[in-house]
Amino acid sequence: MGMLPPLRALQVFEAVGRCGGVTEAAKRLGVSAGAVSQQMKLLEDTLGLSLMQKDGKRLRLTTIGRQYHESCAAAFESLRIAHAEIERSKNVRNLSVSALPSLLSKWLAPRVMEWQAQHPELTVYLDGTHTEPSPEGYEIDFRISYGDRVADADNAIELFRDSVVPACSPHLLQSSAPLAMPVDILAYPLISVDWLPKFASPPSWRDWFETNDVDCTALRNPRNVFSLSSVAIQAAIDGHGFVLAQSSMICDDVAAGRLVIPFKRGVPLPWPYFLTWKKSAFDQPQCRSFHRWLLKLAKEQQQVNDLMLPDAGEVAK
């Protein structure tokens, strides 16, 4: 088996491929473009083939260069993971939680501070992302997600089931006639949430109107559509219209008077939120404590949802 090329040259090559060019790679590595080019030449001389070619004024990876880069990138990622594992093992007084961005910002983050106050020695890392962590990953202790893909996962438990309900800023209603029936909402701007293609989108305005026996043949497509529920909710708080939002994500805003719910008639989401965890999570006492606390919190949230939406069970039948 032949000797491997110099590690530094491979590191520079991985950065060049990741950054899309010599100049940007040099900036990321904190060296000159000439130094990057020198390492690239060393690597090509060692391999005996060209990894880059000119494309106008830019240098791009050749076909074999792209293939080689995929392998190198995977190898360096494995090294990064191994190093992070070592760093993590030095400090077991940590907790890492991944969650869907809107659920994290509107529901979990404001509440997790209460739990951390009881564990001041811990560092809590909250990661808002749509990407599901690897089941064998080391970096995330718990994941809060949604959908049928999670239902069959190992080490998963249902947290709570949500419903969407129309909400708006109280200021939006001050200059208008009081809302008497659900059909009256049609006179206001409507804010929508569209999760596709990551997830099946939550119930739409058309779903809500039809569920509440409102003729919506004249309903126009909403002009304001957001992929993040939290951004759609903020648009409603800012007075731009009605949002059809998850009750868990607006309960704090309703309690604070930033939003009002004129009709407590919810349409349930097709799937609940789930909690998953890595297999070794419960080896750590802080993980066992967080798990108990979060399940208690989820039970309380389900009760709040039921209180806010007394008609939700009726509508769901």
pLDDT tens digits, 233-292: 999 999 999 999 999 999 999 999 999 999 988 898 988 999 999 888 888 899 999 999
Residue 48: count of CB within 10 angstroms of its CB: 6
CA distance 164 to 204: 9
> Tokens representing 119?
């564990």
pLDDT of amino acid 309: 62
| Residue range(s) occupied by CATH 1.10.10.10 in the chain | 7-89
The domain defined by 163-268+308-316 folds into D-Maltodextrin-Binding Protein; domain 2 (3.40.190)
Per CATH, the number for 7-89 is: 1.10.10.10
CATH 3.40.190.10 intervals, the chain? 94-161+271-306, 163-268+308-316
Q: What CA–CA distance (Å, rounded) separates 194 from 200? A: 8
Q: What is the pLDDT of residue 131?
A: 83
H or E stretch including 297? helix 285-308
Per-residue model confidence (pLDDT) at position 156: 87
pTM of the entire predicted model: 0.67
Local structure of 97: helix, strand or coil: strand
- What is residue 31's predicted lDDT score, i.e. its pLDDT? 92
Cα distances (angstroms) measured from residue 137 to each of 78, 133, 278 = 11, 7, 7
CATH superfamily of 94-161+271-306: Periplasmic binding protein-like II (3.40.190.10)
- According to DSSP, the residues that pair with 166 across neighbouring strands are 244
Closest C-alpha to 262, from 289, 244, 285: 244
Question: How far does Cα 257 stand from its chain's mean position?
Answer: 27
- pLDDT at 317 (0 to 100): 34
- What's the pLDDT score for residue 308? 64
- Model pLDDT, residue 299: 95
- Residues 294-297: contacts with CB under 8 Å, at least 24 apart: 294/142, 294/159, 295/157, 295/159, 297/111
Q: What residues of the chain score a pLDDT lower than 50?
A: 1, 312-317
